[in-house]
Amino acid sequence: MIEETSIKELKGVGDKTQQLFEKVGISTVGDLIRYYPRGYDVYEESVPIGEVEEGQIVTVTGAIFGKVQVSGTRAMQITTIHVKDLTGTIRVIWFRMPFLRNTFAKGGTVTLRGRVINRKNGLVMEHPEIFYPSSKYEERLNTLQPIYGLTSGLTNNAVMKAMKQALTGLNLSKENLPEELRLKYELAEYNYAIRGIHFPEDKEVFCHARKRLVFEEFLTFILSLRILRDSNEKQENEYVMEKHPKIDTFIGKLPFQLTGAQQKVWEEILTNMASDTVMSRLVQGDVGSGKTIVAVLALLNTALNGYQGAMMAPTEVLARQHYESICNLFETYDIPIKAALLTGSMTTKEKRRVYDRIECGLVKIIIGTHALIQDKVFYDNLALVVTDEQHRFGVKQREKFAEKGGVPHVLVMSATPIPRTLAIILYGDLDISVIDELPANRLPIKNCVVDTGYRNTAYSFMKKQVAEGRQCYVICPMVEESESIEAENVIDYAESLQSEMGDSIKVSYLHGKMKQTEKDEIMTRFGNNQIQILVSTTVIEVGIDVPNSTVMLIENAERFGLAQLHQLRGRVGRGKYQSYCIFMTASKAKETKERLDILNHSNDGFKIASEDLKLRGPGDLFGIRQSGLMDFRLGDVYQDAAVLQMASDAADWLIKNKHDCLKMLPDYERTSSVII
């Protein structure tokens, strides 16, 4: 079997399974083996029942105590047992498995692994995996089971089975990294790494395998960036523009003064756009530092010079928000420039209308999502492309724009805190500007890390804030990494919070599975303060700007990466009001407190990221994916910062020595899909 073999050749993969695999982007054996696990289940030692905490997945071992009960309705039968060890007793339930009554009838000891939830009458372990008798658990102890990204109908077991077959039957691939590099950086051999990432015997194998694959992923990426940078270096500026006189009048009329940092970055952009070569610039600035207005100035100047400018946002909600605020600004300050919104969820008819208006040059500023780079969009002198909160503007995307006319200026806005040394490696093809100053009217956000016992106090606090005219966000508890379960949680949570808050306060919710029009409606209503409390998943993580919101309550804060928490917190403290961020956690673990405390004491995104790195150390790879920055398959820019540095050095070495392996690397097609 070779990598190009269709997965249909695998035993047990029929038409139906093939379709399911296609859905997650797997059509060949090669695709399959590069479908890395999202995480691993670790079967750890049992913990004493008396020490079990809410929210955790744990293993307990104890004697079945008392009778097995089956209750509930016919459609939803609930089996309950009690399990007891020397330290305590815990209630355990299963749904729709009444036959367990017989299974457990003879008693004895059982080992159970599952999540513990706090119900009205105490802690309950819900629907755990059963090892009965207990000795069955020993085989599993300390092993790692891969967990794959799934789609409805495709089970983890099915992926595991196919994977095992593929890996056993696969011909060995050629090692494509030079021996010197492998020795120098202690990198595992390719075939070993691929096997080790899917079915590691232990953590050590996993770490080795992963390091090798992450290295390769980074190296490929860096090499293609270097190639891009070289080809970009002297790209002529086809859209030379000066500052239009109306710009300063516009700036003068704004309700605030630009900060020194905004002014500095704006001037850097102006210099670029007036120079001989095309602009490729990254603007970094912490959440709330005011990046949008800088982008708007660049877009406006482009439009006033008679060209088109486009701004691409990662979500429709954010695109709409930008569109609306730009329209508002232009209306308020009498700017005779027309803007348009273009998003994927618009009807064909609506889209066609916008396409026409773009093509004939009637609209000068176009805001949208990825829909902006569809083949059907033809621009009329597109001179500037801004991407907001897009972690990476793809090589291909720039090419796409260039195909449609000249080579536009590119401005990438990012709030992801990342140390300068890393930024230089990752954005090697871009010049970097930093907005390192917050607007003067801001009060620092007040933070606190609290346990769940504080929830009611937090609710009263929110009530008070709403009574003063403010608004709040609640980030809902994460239970599973599954979108549909998350959606249910959000809905349940919002319902119970609504009854808690009473009729005078409107609570609503937002989650990833909602229709775009619904999301837009909720965001618009929240923006107008028709909704006072918004319960949401992390879909509001980036960009959303409702300066009247002053409270951010994050449930299960321990389950998020610090960088992500910092972004979430950035949704408040965006206006003149004192804002608050409450990190709520059920975990009593010392490390959790330590980690969250970093946020508690700092509002500086750059500092938070590096402190987190220090605290977690490079060994902590089972943790949460920290950054989500640039969708690498495996690598994480923060977590694997050291490997990133190695890959960068290796890239220099390969280029300097004009090494043969450069012919194979970078695999341009694969890399550029990573860079989106």
Provide the binding-site residues for ligand ADP, judged by CB under 6 A.
256-259, 262, 285, 287-293, 415, 439, 441, 545, 547, 574
Gyration radius of the chain's alpha carbons? 27
The answer to the question of residue 288 lying near Mg ion (CB under 5 A) is no
Which is closer to ligand ADP, CB of 288 or CB of 368? 288
Q: Who's near 25: CB < 8 A, 6+ residues apart? A: 31, 35
Q: Which does 293 bind (CB under 5 to 8 A by kind): Mg ion, ligand ADP, none?
A: ligand ADP
Q: What angle do CA 413, 414, 419 make, to 5 degrees?
A: 130
Which part of the chain contacts Mg ion (CB under 5 A), choosing from 302-310, 351-359, 535-543, 623-631? 535-543
Q: What token pair was written down for 98? A: 């009444």
Q: Smallest distance from the beta carbon of 446 to ligand ADP, in angstroms?
A: 18
53 Cβ contact partners less than 8 Å away, ≥ 6 residues apart = 116, 586, 587, 588
Q: What b/e string do you get for 623-632 counting C-beta neighbours within 10 Å, with b at 16 or more?
A: ebbbbbbbeb
Q: Which two tokens stand for residue 348?
A: 């064909």
- Do 501 and 526 touch, CB atoms closer than 8 A? no
**Shortest distance in whole angstroms from residue 326 CB to ligand ADP:** 12
Which does residue 287 bind out of Mg ion, ligand ADP, none, counting CB within 5 to 8 angstroms by kind?
A: ligand ADP
Query: Shortest Cβ contact with Mg ion: which residue?
Result: 543
Q: How far is the CB of 262 from ligand ADP (least distance, A)?
A: 6
Give least dist CB 289 to ligand ADP, A: 4
What is the nearest approach in angstroms of ligand ADP to the Cβ of residue 296?
9
Residues 615-634 binding Mg ion (CB under 5 A) are none
Q: Return the number of the residue (293 or 346) whose C-beta is nearest ligand ADP.
A: 293
CA distance 447 to 445: 6
What six digits make up the tokens of 459?
Answer: 């609710």
Which of ligand ADP, Mg ion, none binds 615 (CB below 5-8 Å, type-dependent)? none
* HSE (side-chain half, CA atoms, 13 Å) at 502: 8
Q: Kindly tell me the number of DSSP H helices and DSSP E strands found in the chain.
A: 23, 20
Choice between 442 and 559, CB closer to ligand ADP: 442
| CB 654, min distance to ligand ADP, A | 37
Pick the closer one to ligand ADP by CB: 285 or 561. Answer: 285
Which residues are within 8 A (CB) of 221 and not within 5 positions of it... i.e. 6 or more apart?
Answer: 630, 632, 647, 666, 671, 674, 675
| CA neighbor of 535 nearest in space, from 575, 566, 505 | 505
φ, ψ at 541 (rounded to 5°) = -55, -45
Residue 288 binding result from ligand ADP, Mg ion, none, given CB thresholds of 5 to 8 Å by partner type:
ligand ADP
Which of ligand ADP, Mg ion, none sits in contact with 566, Cβ below 5 to 8 A by type?
Answer: none
Residue 64 binds which entry of Mg ion, ligand ADP, none, with Cβ cut-offs from 5 to 8 Å by kind? Answer: none
Which lies closer to Mg ion via its Cβ, residue 237 or residue 321? Answer: 321
Tell me the closest approach of the beta carbon of residue 285 to ligand ADP, in angstroms: 5
| DSSP run (H or E) holding 119 | strand 109-119
Q: Tell me the closest approach of the beta carbon of residue 521 to ligand ADP, in angstroms.
A: 21
In 3D space, the residue among 436, 442, 439 whose CA is nearest the CA of residue 573 turns out to be: 442
Q: Which does 477 bind (CB under 5 to 8 A by kind): ligand ADP, Mg ion, none?
A: none
- The answer to whether 420 and 282 have CB atoms below 8 angstroms apart is no
494 vs 629, beta carbon nearer ligand ADP: 629
How far separated are the first and last CA of the chain, in Å rounded? 31
Judged by CB under 5 A, does residue 543 bind Mg ion?
yes
Q: Shortest Cβ distance from residue 543 to Mg ion (Å)?
A: 4
Q: Give CA–CA dist 393/225, Å, rounded.
A: 12
Residue 439's binding partner out of ligand ADP, Mg ion, none, with CB under 5 to 8 Å set by partner kind = ligand ADP
Cβ distance to Mg ion smaller for residue 287 or 581: 287
User: Taking contact as CB under 5 A, which single stretch among the options 13-21, 197-205, 517-525, 543-551 is the one that binds Mg ion?
Assistant: 543-551
Q: Which is nearer to ligand ADP, 235 or 325 (CB)?
A: 325
Measured in residues, the chain has a length of 676
Strand-pairing partners, residue 589, are none
Minimum distance from CB of 245 to ligand ADP (Å)?
A: 22
**Coil, helix or strand at residue 473:** strand
Q: DSSP letters along 366-404, please?
A: EEESGGGGSTT---SSEEEEEEES-S---HHHHHHHHHT
Contact residues toward Mg ion (CB under 5 A) are 543
